[in-house]
Every structure is written in structure tokens, then in C-alpha cells.
């Protein structure tokens, strides 16, 4: 008989934690899961799922505007924010239940409450001390809000999903995924949107041409983008807010959304007292088997602040369960991870941007194409798409694929499989395209735009 209450104790029932717990239980482990907030973590509750539902809602206004070009007479439309919030909440509640049933169905014991670590093999939940041979920390991340005068007026991506009413004039501060996505969502739902970013161009880390193209398209859709701009102070004037900017100018609005980054949710978990090493940002430091500095404690997902994507947390959770309870050496491959930004228009990308590819490979062949997708050719609404292939010159392997345009995420997922398999430009060239689609452009770009 084991000297521990459980074989595996998981702190956090988000994507990575639930996957690890369920798989470990299926392998025969005795598993407990503690969750203090909501099942499904950030992605299900205040991240990927509700955000994508809001994207769908916001795109419908443009769909209605496109319709007359196709012969449809559309009556005056109106939008009701409470209806969207209510229907979103119902779906999230359903998903919360799905996650809980998955865990219970696998035989996991669920503890509703905050878990803190009090030793290498011990956690405490609601005054109860529980021992486990292995502990997994999968507590995710949390929005960061800067310390500036008036910060009490700021909302984050946690709060915006639950507003009672939608502000008419919105300012979005930030330049990452969440900021550009909400700028598009809010504009599509009828808000007057200004997006501020302190850098020269948003989406740092993405290919520069893709970043510039998206900025052009967002401005075309009516988002007021202001780069090299930041907020110094926020004051309330009646029902409105006044933002004093770093150049001394001011901006009046009805709501301010800060999406200036997230930090690992590692505070007040007892990690330091147990000897678990954290880096300067508060992320749990792990090795290639997700072990912390305490061998019995492991960590996956955003709390490690490495590749902060839901599918990566899922893969890491599977890796831990397989290693510990199935004797399988399963390694997550972090190369060629596809990702999408659900901006409007969306971005899909896999592999390296041009600047990074040049540092790694030197000589490159670059293929680009910009065009009006067929849907917009007879529409009163106009939108363009941009596609780019980056090919390392010596071996002709496609090392970067980038798109900004309708269905970019859906298109990129399929090409990611080919790129992970090592597809060369010749493989792309000899693949028959599906006509008429935007995706076929990736297999019909014959001549390099430039070679470097």
C-alpha cells in the first residue's frame, strides 16, 4: 500500500491540469484535482472560447454589410449586448460541467478550493492536508495591470466578458494577441475604438510584413491605431474617463481595456517555502521533463511562461501523465507550433518570421501575395488578404508560412502538418490547389518576390 493519499495531485483544473489528471487516472493512478475558481481555466472561462464567440458576434455586422452585393436586402439591424453575454454564459456553464464530468468520469477526486503546497509531497486545501507522490502545478496566468494613477478604472480581459453594458467609446491598451483581438471585437460590435501601443508596431515577435498589413487593414475597418503611445494617468469625469497620454495629450472614452500582458499565477501557492525555484517574472522553472527544482513537483502551461498556448498546455499535461504513469517518454516538440490571432482580419502563422529565419539560415527566398478575396469582389465592403512563404535557399525547405485574411487559422492548421514533415517549396509547387479558395495561393506562388 502506498504511503501517500494519492499518486498524483493536480493544482488547477485548466487545460493542462485537466488533461494530465484525466490521463493519469486512465493509466490507473489515484488522482485528486483542486480548483478554486472555475473548471476549464482561462481558455474556457475568460479566454479562447468566449473570445472566439465574441469574434463571431462582431463579424456578423460586416457579413450584413457584405450581403447587398449578393442581392440580399437586409433590414436595419440592431445588436443587444446582454443577449450575447447571456448566451455566452450558458455555453461556458455547459463547458464547466463537461470538464467536471470528464474528471469525475475518469475517477479523479475533486476538491473545490485553493490548494497551497506545504511540502514536497503535501498540499493543503480548506484546512485539510493531503499527501501525494507527485504534485503538478497548472495554475495558468493572470492579467497584468500597470501601477498608474487611475488604475482602478481599468478593466482586463477577465472583466470585459461580464460587463452589464457595452461602452460606446473604448480604448484598448496593449499590442499582443488579446489587445488586437478585442480591438476588432469591440469595433465590430459598434464601439468607437482606439488602440494604444507603446511600441512602433504591435504583435512583437510576428513577421514584420504581417504586422504592418494587419495594422493597415484594422485602420481600414475604422480602428484608431496609435503607436508610440501610452497612458500616464486615468481620470474620471462623470460617467466618462479621460486618459492623459505620455505626450501630454488626452483621450476621452467610456471604458479602458488593458491587455498589456499576463503573468504566471504562482503567488501565494507555497512554492518558495517548498523550495520551488521561480524566475524573475514569477514563472516556475522546469526542466525538459517539467520537473521543478523539487523533483516531486512538476509544472506545465502558462505558469511556466514558455509557450503560452492552450494546445501546448494540453500537450505538456499529456507528457507528464505518460512519463509518470505509463512509462512513456513522450516529448513535446516546440518547433513549428502553429498559432492564430483572431484579429479582424485574422492571422495564421507557423514557423519563422523573415527576420528570425534570416538570422538562422542566412539566404532566403521570399514569396508574397496580396489580393482581394473572392467574397469581397462584388461586395460594398472591401478587404484584402496577404500571404507569405519563407524558404531557406540552400535546401528549399519552407520554414515560415504566414497569412492575414479570412480563415487564416483554419488554413494554417493544415499547412502546419506539411511543414512539420519538412515540406520543401517543390512539394508546395507540385500540390494541386483547391479552386477557388484563398488557400490555393500557398501552392501557386511560383516566383520569389525577393531573394536575400
Query: Taking Cα atoms as reference points, which of 413, 393, 356, 364 lies closest to residue 207?
Result: 356
Q: List the grid coordinates of 367.
A: 514569396
Q: What is the DSSP letter of 441?
A: G
Greatest CA separation found in the chain? 73
Query: Taking Cα atoms as reference points, which of 166, 172, 187, 174 lies closest to residue 344?
Result: 187
Pairing of strands 297-299, 339-341: unpaired
Exposure class string for 85-115: b at 16+ Cβ within 10 A, else e: beebeeebeebbeebbebbeebebbebeebb
Q: What are phi and psi of 40, to 5 degrees?
A: 105, -15
Q: Are 274 and 120 in contact (CB under 8 A)?
A: yes
435 is a catalytic site residue:
yes
Q: Annotated catalytic residue: which of 162, 263, 402, 435?
A: 435
d(CA 288, CA 285): 10
Question: What is the DSSP code string of 97-108?
Answer: HHHHHHHHHTT-
| 364 DSSP β-pair partners | 392
| Residues with catalytic roles | 435
Amino acid at each position: 500500500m502506498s504511503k501517500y493519499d494519492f499518486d498524483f495531485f493536480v493544482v488547477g483544473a485548466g487545460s493542462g491540469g485537466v488533461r494530465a489528471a484525466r490521463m493519469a487516472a486512465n493509466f490507473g493512478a489515484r488522482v485528486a484535482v483542486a480548483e478554486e475558481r472555475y473548471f476549464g481555466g482561462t481558455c474556457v472561462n475568460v479566454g479562447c472560447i468566449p473570445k472566439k464567440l465574441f469574434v463571431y458576434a462582431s463579424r456578423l455586422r460586416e457579413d450584413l454589410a457584405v450581403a447587398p452585393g449578393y442581392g440580399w436586402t437586409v433590414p436595419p439591424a440592431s445588436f443587444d449586448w446582454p443577449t450575447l453575454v447571456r448566451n455566452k454564459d450558458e455555453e461556458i456553464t455547459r463547458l464547466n460541467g463537461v470538464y467536471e464530468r470528464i474528471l469525475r468520469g475518469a475517477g479523479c477526486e475533486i476538491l473545490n478550493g485553493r490548494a497551497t503546497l506545504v511540502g514536497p509531497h503535501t498540499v493543503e486545501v480548506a484546512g485539510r492536508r493531503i499527501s501525494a507522490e507527485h504534485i503538478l502545478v497548472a495554475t495558468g496566468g493572470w492579467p497584468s495591470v500597470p501601477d498608474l494613477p487611475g488604475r482602478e478604472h481599468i478593466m482586463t480581459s477577465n472583466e470585459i466578458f461580464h460587463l452589464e453594458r457595452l461602452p460606446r467609446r473604448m480604448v484598448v491598451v496593449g499590442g499582443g494577441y488579446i489587445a488586437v483581438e478585442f480591438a476588432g471585437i469591440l469595433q465590430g460590435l459598434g464601439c468607437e475604438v482606439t488602440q494604444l501601443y507603446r511600441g512602433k508596431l504591435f504583435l512583437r515577435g510576428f513577421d514584420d510584413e504581417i504586422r504592418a498589413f494587419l495594422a493597415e487593414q484594422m485602420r481600414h475597418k475604422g480602428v484608431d491605431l496609435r503607436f508610440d503611445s501610452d497612458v500616464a494617468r486615468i481620470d474620471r469625469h462623470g460617467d466618462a474617463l479621460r486618459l492623459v497620454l505620455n505626450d501630454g495629450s488626452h483621450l476621452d472614452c467610456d471604458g479602458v481595456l488593458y491587455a498589456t500582458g499576463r503573468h504566471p499565477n504562482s503567488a501565494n501557492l507555497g512554492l518558495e517555502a517548498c523550495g520551488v525555484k521561480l524566475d524573475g517574472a514569477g514563472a516556475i522553472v522546469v526542466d525538459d521533463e517539467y520537473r521543478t527544482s523539487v523533483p516531486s513537483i512538476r509544472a506545465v502551461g502558462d505558469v511556466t511562461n514558455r509557450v503560452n498556448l492552450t494546445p501546448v498546455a494540453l500537450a505538456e499535461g499529456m507528457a507528464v501523465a505518460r512519463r509518470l504513469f505509463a512509462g512513456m517518454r513522450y516529448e513535446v516538440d516546440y518547433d513549428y507550433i502553429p498559432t492564430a490571432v483572431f484579429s479582424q482580419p485574422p492571422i495564421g502563422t507557423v514557423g519563422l518570421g523573415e527576420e528570425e529565419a534570416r538570422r538562422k539560415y542566412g539566404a532566403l527566398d521570399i514569396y508574397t501575395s496580396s489580393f482581394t478575396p473572392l467574397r469581397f469582389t462584388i461586395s460594398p465592403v472591401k478587404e484584402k488578404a496577404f500571404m507569405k512563404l519563407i524558404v531557406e535557399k540552400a535546401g528549399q525547405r519552407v520554414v515560415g508560412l504566414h497569412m492575414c485574411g479570412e480563415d487564416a487559422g483554419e488554413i494554417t492548421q493544415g499547412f502546419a502538418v506539411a511543414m512539420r514533415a519538412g515540406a520543401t517549396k517543390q512539394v508546395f509547387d507540385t500540390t494541386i490547389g483547391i479552386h477557388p479558395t484563398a488557400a490555393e495561393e500557398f501552392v501557386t506562388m511560383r516566383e520569389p518576390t525577393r531573394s536575400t
